[in-house]
Amino acid sequence: MVIIGELINTSRKKIGEAVEAGDVAYLQQVAKDQVEAGAHYLDVNCGTMIGKEPETLEWLVKLVQEVVDVPLCLDSPDPAALERALGAHKGTAMINSISLEKERYDAILPLLKETDCSVVALCMDDKGMPETVEQGLEYASRLVDSLGAEGIDPDRIYLDPLVRSVGTGSHYGRMFIDTVSAIKEKYPTVHITCGLSNISFGLPNRRLLNRTFLAMAMAAGMDSAIMDPLDKVIMAHLYAARAVLGQDDFCAEYITAQREGKLEV
């Protein structure tokens, strides 16, 4: 399960304030905390920095990689910002994101062809987001096929079927889970990720919904999530789900997590 730590995002009040203030120590501590908690990638997003995004994203990449060894998920629809961030990034990054929207697809594709980056691929086009499982699978198929035709291997693709809050549509949770199952059946080597906490937006006790959704989506075949690794309880659920789903040989990771005091419930 590939965990993409979500916390370095200037839409979060404390992160936005730290970026504005140039508080390197705070931002680096958030990065280190997420990696220590189990993140495999760190998402870095400064999309709120209107007019300053390219230089700010480059700055964030440099300061984060001073203190952690994991690759970064460069989160921007702006090819200029991504190009500067890629120039500063050490190792192979992940780009977040491409979609079937023509303008975004045409802008991001050259960066993928020039690098070995993985990519989050949003299952949507210029008409919008999917409203049925069939539509979600169609978008996923178009993405995998079109990127494949450009030389992008399936194992570099992290399809995002797009989570929406069950508070805005009671079918959205089940639709996402069924879409994941359909995609994994057709494209077993493609990764599937999502912005996990979107499932609970606008609802009370959001962490309960997030934790339940994580386990259900993993059972359907989701093998990555953009999430908060500092939520110790959701991380405990992740270890437990991997054990139950047979993804943890002899429950070794689960037992180790227990010994290290990580299974908080």
User: Strand 224-227's sheet: what is its strand order?
Assistant: 191-192, 157-160, 118-122, 94-99, 72-75, 41-45, 2-9, 224-227
Average pLDDT over residues 198-206: 98
Share of the chain above pLDDT 90, in %: 100
CATH value at residue 207: 3.20.20.20
The torsion angles phi and psi of 13, rounded to 5 degrees, stand at -55, -50
What pLDDT digit, counting tens, does each position of 166-185 carry? Answer: 999 999 999 999 999 999 99
Residue 177: domain span: 2-259
Share of the chain above pLDDT 70, in %: 100
Distances (CA, A) of 113 to 79, 97, 103, 106: 13, 14, 16, 11
Average pLDDT over residues 42-46: 98
Question: Is residue 39 one of the residues assigned to a domain?
Answer: yes
Question: Is residue 264 one of the residues assigned to a domain?
Answer: no
What pLDDT digit, counting tens, does each position of 242-261 carry? Answer: 999 999 999 999 999 999 99
Average pLDDT over residues 189-210: 97
Question: Is residue 40 one of the residues assigned to a domain?
Answer: yes
* Contact criterion met (CB below 8 Å) for 228 and 5: yes
Token pair recorded at residue 67: 């203190």
Question: Is residue 265 one of the residues assigned to a domain?
Answer: no
Token pair recorded at residue 81: 């910002």
Give residue 92's pLDDT band: very low, low, confident or very high (50, 70, 90).
Answer: very high
What pLDDT digit, counting tens, does each position of 98-118 carry? Answer: 999 999 999 999 999 999 999
Question: Is residue 139 one of the residues assigned to a domain?
Answer: yes
As a whole number of angstroms, the distance between CA 6 and CA 86 comes to: 19
Question: For the chain, how many structural domains are there in total?
Answer: 1
